[in-house]
Structure 1
Amino acid sequence: MPKQKTHSGAKKRFKLTGSGKLMKQQAGLRHNFEGKPTKRTRRLGQDQVLSAPDTKVAKKLLGL
């Protein structure tokens, strides 16, 4: 059987922590900053833990 290939989009978007959690970049930090409070833009800049149902799918794409 051939080797499984890692999904290229998934490996760019998700980061695995030491404890096994998957981290992702929060959406909404690309444009239109004038209408967003500074507090919100700082919060959006932090990495976020992927939800449990999404983690199951993402780990499959990453080959974990």
Structure 2
Amino acid sequence: MPKMKTRRAAAKRFKAVGNGKFKRKRANLRHILEKKAHDCKKRAGKTDYVDQADLGRVKAMLPYA
């Protein structure tokens, strides 16, 4: 059986962690930051984990993670 291909776009966005979850970056921290509240930017700067509902799809895209 041939090797499964990894979705490269997903590999750049998600990192597997030891407990079976995947780390991801939060949105809203790229541009137009002047008008955004400090709390909003602080929250967006923290890493987050992939939601349970999306976990199966991410695992399918990253078969070797």
TM exceeding 0.5: yes
Aligned length: 64
Identity across matched positions, percent: 38
Structure 2: how far apart are the matches of 1:63 and 1:15?
Answer: 12
Equivalent residue letter for 1:12? K
Q: 1:25, CA displacement in angstroms?
A: 0.5
CA distance in 1 between partners of 2:27 and 2:37 (Å): 15
TM-score, structure 1 normalization: 0.90
The residue correspondences of 1:27-46 to structure 2 (distance < 5 A) are 27-46=27-46
**In structure 2, what residue type is equivalent to 1:29?**
L
**RMSD of Structure 2 on Structure 1 (CA):** 1.1
Unaligned runs of 5+ in 2: none
Query: For the residues of structure 1 that align with 2:8 and 2:35, how far apart are their CA atoms?
Result: 33
In the alignment, structure 1 segments of 5+ residues that lack a partner are none
Please give the alpha-carbon distance, in whole angstroms, between the structure 2 residues aligned to 1:23 and 1:35: 27
Aligned pairs for 1:25-64 within 5 A: 25-64=25-64
**TM-score normalised to structure 2 length:** 0.89
Runs of 4+ in structure 1 off by over 2 angstroms are none
